[in-house]
Chain A
Amino acid sequence: MSAILEIKDLQLVYGAGSQPTLHGVDLEIATGQAVGVVGESGSGKSTVAWTVMGLLPPGARVTRGSVSFEGNELLAMSAEERRRLRGKSIAMVFQDPFTTLNPCLTVGQQLTEVLVERGLVDAGAARCEGLRLMDEVKLPRASELYDAYPHQLSGGMKQRIVIASALACSPKLLVLDEPTTALDVTVEAHILRLLAELQKTRGLSMLFISHNLGIVEQLCSSVTVMQSGRVVEAGAAEQVLRRPNHAYTQKLLGSLPRLLKPATPAPGPANEEAPQAEVIEARDVSLSFGGRPGLISRLLGAEGNAVQALANVSLSLRKAEIVGLVGESGSGKSTLGRCLVGIYAPQSGEIRLDGRATNPRADRSDRRIQMVFQNPDSSLNPRHRIGEILGRPLRLVGKSKREADQRVKELLALVRLPETYVSRYPHQLSGGEKQRIGIARALALEPEILICDEVTSALDVSVQASILDLIKDLRDRLNVAILFVSHDLAVISQISDRVVVMRGGRIVEEGSVGQVIAAPREAYTRELLASVPPFISEGLSTARAMAGA
């Protein structure tokens, strides 16, 4: 087998005088082979993809090494020569299908424009060829979609179009930069299946960039692990993922949440003891957004466009219990969390705290229930110091400056951060540290209930693992009830005592972790479980057998 792509000792610098982004990267792809490049943010994996494409941002400069494609040195080629290779020999699929398609051109135009420009088909035959490509990526109702604009398509459909347009000129090498990261898990599974199939039928070689170790195994026979611009380990997927040699790979794999990892201790204390009293309960909560437009707008012809976000949802949490709330985008899981904490007011139904109904107004605040937010970059006010951020809730309930300062120190210790952080600004902290501050702020007033809304989804896996540890530890020490909202079933299975599955504003299924994961009752839960990459759900079959399903 000859190599289609060979990268040797690639060193690259962004801007003069700065540290190299890549320090001597080596990578080889044999013809017809799919190679995965895995790493956390800042590892330089996307830079490798851009170098291969010849689309590095201005200011980036290769200082050493070679990149050869079918034996020809890419770095020595003129811009025009490289352009001719693009699309025809090397094509690319991007991370975010929502911004990759031009909003002003129809799907068909974007699919076939390269073919027409290169004279591969004439304008008349373009439509026919476009429809054939859409058929190949398994888009239904192709003739209807061909004349649609991108905004009329769902995310999964858009990504199929992006893949089809990458395949238009029959390239030999496909570069995929996190092609499923922006998609829901069930859609991700479908796209991965499609890619695997295309690789087989077309004999494509692939360079697959991903942060997700779990999905790499599904597609790639060989894996390269990168950290801070260096290759730390490379080899057959089987060997790298099962018998990693390098400490960093071992750490990554250790942090990777698995469905019911055998080492996980039995479910938490709540299941063993007698059922405790419910600390919070949502009864038949419904909420819709949009609603009726104002009088004048209606007179002028505006129409209502209400969206039902929650439909008769009931949910309860007991003391010291972690409930995992799982669902895809648009399932209403975050809305439910915000209803519980009081940001939104339910339009019908009620929220009961300690057995008593709460004020049904929006912006009700109650120190007994607090929230940790998804994005640590946006949840801390960039203009406030950490001391102010943590001290403010205390000052708001009338604590003196001295009391507040003392409590801030305790809180920092509680989330394992040094006291000196009080005088820092959020941008001086890493993502994981910021999320710890978010947790500390929520704990400041010793709440009974904590709502964690996708708190780890913006973090790298190794950081995610330490935050999950912290949350479990806090539950054990503070006996706080936690609603853990996430799209990631593996994470949910790691941390929860009980699991609730939501879809389209309704609760589909709920039960103990063991029951929902090992013996799901509903078809949708089974679909979600089937979307989890096999590498993540290993060991589940044994669990299923044990559950005697």
Chain B
Amino acid sequence: MLASAELRARPRLPLPLVIGSSLLLAILMASLAAPFITAFDFDAMDVTARMKAPDAVHLLGTDEFGRDVLSRTLHGASTSIGLGVAATAFAFAIGVPLGLLGGYMRGRLDDAIMRTVDILVSIPPVMLGLLILASTSPGVWKAALAVGIIYIPILIRLSRSVALSLAQEEFILAARTRGEGLGWILFREILPNALPPLVVETSLRISFAILLGAVFSFLGLGTQPPSSDWGLMIAEARPYLEQAPWIALAPGVALCVTVISINLVGEGLRQFLDVRSQPGA
């Protein structure tokens, strides 16, 4: 009891959380402050400076149209990260309520939800995205939607399994015996207790969503030129791989660092929330 009171007073942030969130913050700030960091517009072409290797003027070199790779990479950050966050938020908003409802109510509703999920997961994830994206003209928001739809079943399954075990807890029985409504039980009794695993999962999902979004852009099904994100930049750089590898490497490394920092945040949150949730430890 004493130990946990102390813990509450001075919560020690896990190292991965600190490193991850500062890295992520730095990337986001750099992306927002891009005009102040580089002197070039992300889509300003310069035929006199095509495929120039990194130097003092173009810190990361230029691409086949003479556009500054650094400013394009910084510009791509907002699209890529935005896509990941939007897709995950969409999947969370649809998946979590459905999962909690199914796990708590059980019975027919649950069966219907889970059979649908079974069918959705019986198509490999990228295929499902291909099907969805093939049916419309490609675009960044549609890619986000496709990634979101792919993740809905995962979030339904996770929140359902959490709700399923929480539904057996005696405090839920207590809420039922005093006649609480469904909304209160789902969102005031179950959700706060389901949040730690969901938050951890969601933070990791964002990084997977960024990767999957980049895959779609790489395949030409996501962001469309002249706009850009990291996946598309790498796809566009492929023909010039031998002459100008920096065009592909810059967004690739940016992608890796972003994903690693988000994963670090997820891992840090996992450690942090586990400590907090241990009663009287």
The smallest C-beta distance from B183 to any residue of chain A, in angstroms, reads 13
Cβ contact within 8 Å between A370 and B193: no
Would you call A477 an interface residue if the criterion is a C-beta within 8 Å of the partner chain's C-beta atoms? no
Cβ contact within 8 Å between B173 and A428: no
Using an 8 Å CB-CB cutoff, how does the interface string of B105-138 with A read, 1 for contact, 0 for none? 0001001000000000000000000000000000
Would you call A495 an interface residue if the criterion is a C-beta within 8 Å of the partner chain's C-beta atoms? no
The smallest C-beta distance from B164 to any residue of chain A, in angstroms, reads 15
Cβ contact within 8 Å between A365 and B170: no
Would you call B174 an interface residue if the criterion is a C-beta within 8 Å of the partner chain's C-beta atoms? yes
Cβ contact within 8 Å between B171 and A380: yes
A367 to B1, CA, bound (A): 34
Would you call A218 an interface residue if the criterion is a C-beta within 8 Å of the partner chain's C-beta atoms? no
Cβ contact within 8 Å between B177 and A378: no
B 177-194 contacts with A by CB, 8 A = 177-180, 189, 192-193
- With known contacts A294-B111, A428-B1, A428-B280, A392–B171 Cβ distance under 8 A: no
Cβ contact within 8 Å between A341 and B4: no
A490 to B178, CA, bound (A): 31
Would you call B238 an interface residue if the criterion is a C-beta within 8 Å of the partner chain's C-beta atoms? no
Contact of A428 among B4, B108, B179 (CB under 8 A): B4
Would you call B5 an interface residue if the criterion is a C-beta within 8 Å of the partner chain's C-beta atoms? yes
Cβ contact within 8 Å between A428 and B178: no
Cβ contact within 8 Å between A378 and B170: yes
- With known contacts A365-B179, A396-B180, A426-B279, A343–B193 Cβ distance under 8 A: no
Residues of chain A with a CB closer than 8 A to B5's CB = 428
Would you call B169 an interface residue if the criterion is a C-beta within 8 Å of the partner chain's C-beta atoms? yes
Cβ contact within 8 Å between A342 and B177: yes
Would you call A178 an interface residue if the criterion is a C-beta within 8 Å of the partner chain's C-beta atoms? no
Residue of A nearest to B191 (CB): A383
Cβ contact within 8 Å between A343 and B177: yes
Residues of chain B with a CB closer than 8 A to A380's CB = 171
Would you call B277 an interface residue if the criterion is a C-beta within 8 Å of the partner chain's C-beta atoms? yes
The smallest C-beta distance from A293 to any residue of chain B, in angstroms, reads 10
B 149-173 contacts with A by CB, 8 A = 169-171, 173
- With known contacts A381-B189, A381-B193, A382-B277, A373–B179 Cβ distance under 8 A: no
Cβ contact within 8 Å between B178 and A378: no
Using an 8 Å CB-CB cutoff, how does the interface string of B188-230 with A read, 1 for contact, 0 for none? 0100110000000000000000000000000000000000000
Residues of chain B with a CB closer than 8 A to A370's CB = 177-178
Cβ contact within 8 Å between B170 and A379: yes
Cβ contact within 8 Å between B178 and A392: yes
Residues of chain A with a CB closer than 8 A to B192's CB = 381, 383
Residues of chain B with a CB closer than 8 A to A271's CB = none
Residue of B nearest to A18 (CB): B3
Using an 8 Å CB-CB cutoff, how does the interface string of A368-382 with B read, 1 for contact, 0 for none? 001101110111111
Residues of chain A with a CB closer than 8 A to B171's CB = 378-381
Would you call A298 an interface residue if the criterion is a C-beta within 8 Å of the partner chain's C-beta atoms? no
The smallest C-beta distance from B115 to any residue of chain A, in angstroms, reads 8
A393 to B178, CA, bound (A): 7
Cβ contact within 8 Å between A363 and B176: yes
Using an 8 Å CB-CB cutoff, how does the interface string of B262-281 with A read, 1 for contact, 0 for none? 00000000000000010110
- With known contacts A396-B179, A427-B280, A371–B174 Cβ distance under 8 A: yes
The smallest C-beta distance from B116 to any residue of chain A, in angstroms, reads 13
Residues of chain B with a CB closer than 8 A to A102's CB = none
A428 to B9, CA, bound (A): 13
- With known contacts A382-B193, A383-B193, A375–B170 Cβ distance under 8 A: yes
Residue of A nearest to B108 (CB): A294
Contact of B169 among A371, A378, A393, A427 (CB under 8 A): A378
Cβ contact within 8 Å between B1 and A373: no
Would you call A430 an interface residue if the criterion is a C-beta within 8 Å of the partner chain's C-beta atoms? yes
A 278-328 contacts with B by CB, 8 A = 294
Residue of B nearest to A374 (CB): B170
A365 to B181, CA, bound (A): 11
- With known contacts A294-B108, A428-B5, A371–B279 Cβ distance under 8 A: no
A428 to B280, CA, bound (A): 6
A430 to B280, CA, bound (A): 9
A18 to B203, CA, bound (A): 34
Would you call A86 an interface residue if the criterion is a C-beta within 8 Å of the partner chain's C-beta atoms? no
Residues of chain A with a CB closer than 8 A to B176's CB = 343, 363, 365
Residue of B nearest to A338 (CB): B173
Would you call A172 an interface residue if the criterion is a C-beta within 8 Å of the partner chain's C-beta atoms? no
A380 to B175, CA, bound (A): 10
The smallest C-beta distance from B106 to any residue of chain A, in angstroms, reads 12
Residues of chain B with a CB closer than 8 A to A426's CB = 279
Residues of chain A with a CB closer than 8 A to B193's CB = 381-383
Residues of chain A with a CB closer than 8 A to B179's CB = 363, 365, 396
Cβ contact within 8 Å between B108 and A396: no
The smallest C-beta distance from A329 to any residue of chain B, in angstroms, reads 16
A445 to B174, CA, bound (A): 13
The smallest C-beta distance from B60 to any residue of chain A, in angstroms, reads 47
Would you call A441 an interface residue if the criterion is a C-beta within 8 Å of the partner chain's C-beta atoms? yes
The smallest C-beta distance from B239 to any residue of chain A, in angstroms, reads 52
Using an 8 Å CB-CB cutoff, how does the interface string of B1-12 with A read, 1 for contact, 0 for none? 100110000000
Contact of B178 among A338, A383, A396, A429 (CB under 8 A): A396
The smallest C-beta distance from B272 to any residue of chain A, in angstroms, reads 16
A522 to B192, CA, bound (A): 49
B 1-52 contacts with A by CB, 8 A = 1, 4-5
Contact of B177 among A371, A381, A429 (CB under 8 A): A371
A326 to B108, CA, bound (A): 35
The smallest C-beta distance from A383 to any residue of chain B, in angstroms, reads 4
A256 to B189, CA, bound (A): 36
Residue of A nearest to B1 (CB): A428
Residues of chain A with a CB closer than 8 A to B177's CB = 341-343, 365, 370-371
Residue of A nearest to B172 (CB): A381
The smallest C-beta distance from A242 to any residue of chain B, in angstroms, reads 35
Residues of chain A with a CB closer than 8 A to B277's CB = 382
A 336-386 contacts with B by CB, 8 A = 338, 341-343, 363, 365, 367, 370-371, 373-375, 377-383
22 A-B pairs within 8 Å (CB atoms) are namely: A294-B108, A342-B177, A343-B176, A371-B177, A373-B170, A373-B173, A374-B170, A377-B279, A378-B170, A379-B169, A379-B174, A381-B189, A381-B193, A382-B193, A382-B277, A383-B193, A392-B178, A396-B178, A396-B180, A427-B280, A428-B5, A430-B1
Report the 8 A-B pairs with minimum CB-CB distance, sorted nearest first: A365-B179, A427-B279, A379-B170, A373-B170, A383-B192, A381-B171, A378-B170, A378-B169
Please report B residues at the A interface, Cβ cutoff 8 Å. 1, 4-5, 108, 111, 169-171, 173-174, 176-180, 189, 192-193, 277, 279-280
* Known A371-B173, A382-B193; further 14 A-B contacts with Cβ < 8 A: A363-B176, A365-B177, A365-B179, A367-B178, A370-B178, A371-B177, A374-B170, A379-B174, A383-B192, A396-B178, A396-B180, A426-B279, A427-B4, A428-B5
